Amino acid sequence: MPAVEIARKDRRQPEVALAVEHADTSARTVNLTLHIKEIPADSQHQRGSGVKDLRLFRNGSLVKVWHDDVLHGKSEATVSLRVPIIAGENRFTAYAFNNDNVKSRDAVSLVQGADSLRHPVTTYVLAVGVNDYANPDYNLKFAVPDAQSLAATLKEKQERLPEKSEVEVAFLLNHDATRSKILNAISQIGQKVQPDDHVIIFFASHGTAAKNSFYIIPHDIGYSGSREQLDEAAVRSILAHSISDRDLEQALEAVDAAQIVVVIDACNSGQALEAEEKRRGPMNSKGLAQLAYEKGMYVLTASQSYQAALEASQFGHGLLTYALVEEGLGKNQADSEPADGKIVVREWLDYSTRRVPEIQTEKLQAARELRHTLSFGDAGKAHSGLSQYPKIFYRRELESNPWLVAATLPKQ
């Protein structure tokens, strides 16, 4: 992309005002009004600044975005909506961009939610696993056990916390894991989740990268021929039936939760975190990485954008799930930063990114000492060396209220 001369950009900031209308702080929702206004044409600018891509945040997490032009030919406009609030402080922030992607100043309004709004947190788990594809040439061995094991272990750990969390688990396995059912399941979570709840979405399936995008390949693969004889038409059909990172971005945008974790255990899944721009912050680019930044989401992918996600028969799992579930939670090995009897989401996911390449090194070294040949399989393909390094995305600042995934101390 050619560089844009900054001096030629329209640097006039559009105006954004944010107000709370007659807030009943004991109610679950409040009415918000956002007034937006462009800077009009002047002697140096032939047209107004424009206003586009208006964003609303609660406590630093994206609630809603109005894409593209929000004025629709007018010089100013007003948007009203009802927004859920939580007990305690609700700091609403809004900003927009001009036609040259120059950000406005922040508009801020505070609402103090009543203590009566406190309620038991619910953790929503959507576990997707595909062993059996409509085209059996693409079958996997451990995707379904991975999805089942992660959901069951997470549910057990959450329900054993001192402050018990309600857990709702939804499975989409094999023939149920179609493109339409997966996207619909995410939409259903978005319709019932509260802003202080938690969401984890886990995918174990094939994945592929194409033209700077990542695709999760569901059961309805859209291709019936041999895996070894793919042509351009077959690839187009597979991609059309798959779920792209942009599809995930659009689906997750409407999920308004305190914590959202997305784990993608698939080949080339790191491509999902390749943004249009490498910067992070209040910018106006598209992509799952940008949405993750704005929502404060965690996104963990099994491999870099050019790598396979491996299965190991001796574990009965993919390597990423083995590190997350069997070791990280099952053996409490993720309790390490610090080792305090608690596993918060950040140290759980960080543990897996460190551990996956270590597992490969350990097993390969043990095989060499026994003069055995050991390989890790990618749906029938073998890898005899280190070839999987998970990739993780999250905002670097520490959270004031991190999600406690598991507690290794006895209940008090």
Q: In the structure, what pLDDT confidence band is assigned to residue 212 with cuts at 50, 70 and 90?
A: confident
What pLDDT shows up at residue 304?
A: 47
Pairing of strands 213-217, 243-244: antiparallel
- Asked if 199 and 193 count as a contact pair (C-beta separation under 8 A), the reply is yes
Higher pLDDT, 178 or 230: 178
pLDDT average, residue stretch 302-320: 56
Q: Are 321 and 352 in contact (CB under 8 A)?
A: no
Residues of the chain with CATH 2.60.40.10: 11-117
| Comparison of pLDDT for 284 and 70, the residue scoring more | 70
pLDDT in tens, 88-99: 999 999 999 999
pLDDT in tens, 49-59: 999 999 999 99
- Looking at 68-72, 112-116, 291-295, 329-333, which range is the least confident one? 291-295
Arithmetic mean of pLDDT, 16-40: 92
**pLDDT value for 381:** 44
Whether the per-residue pLDDT at 411 is higher than 60: the answer is no
Q: Look over the chain and give the mean of its residue pLDDT values, rounded to a whole number.
A: 85
pLDDT in tens, 334-368: 998 889 999 999 999 999 999 988 887 776 665 45
**Average pLDDT, stretch 108-128?**
95
Distant-in-sequence, close-in-space partners of 393: CB < 8 Å, separation ≥ 6: 273, 289, 292, 293, 297, 298, 299, 300
* CA–CA dist 259, 196 (Å, integer): 8
**211 contact partners, CB below 8 Å, separation of at least 6:** none
Top CATH class, 11-117:
mainly beta
**Burial degree of 68 (CB within 10 A; 0-12, 13-18, 19+):** exposed
Architecture of 122-407 per CATH?
3-Layer(aba) Sandwich (3.40)
The confidence score (pLDDT) of residue 364 equals: 60
- Return the minimum-mean-pLDDT range out of 262-276, 298-312, 397-411: 298-312
Model confidence at 107: pLDDT above 60: yes
Of residues 125 and 303, the one with the higher pLDDT is: 125
Dist. CA 240–CA 213, nearest whole Å? 12
277: confidence class by pLDDT, cuts 50, 70, 90: very low
pLDDT band for position 7 (cuts 50, 70, 90): low
pLDDT tens by residue, 142-191:
899 999 999 999 999 999 998 877 999 999 999 999 999 999 999 999 99
More confident residue, 263 or 392: 263
Smallest CA-to-CA distance from 199 within 147, 160, 255 is with 255
Of how many residues is the chain composed?
A: 412
- Of the ranges 82-91, 104-113, 334-343, which one carries the lowest mean pLDDT score? 334-343
pLDDT tens sequence across 10-22: 999 999 999 998 7
- The larger pLDDT score, comparing residue 378 to residue 72, is at 72
Residue 298 scores a pLDDT above 90: yes
CATH 3.40.50.1460 in the chain is located at 122-407
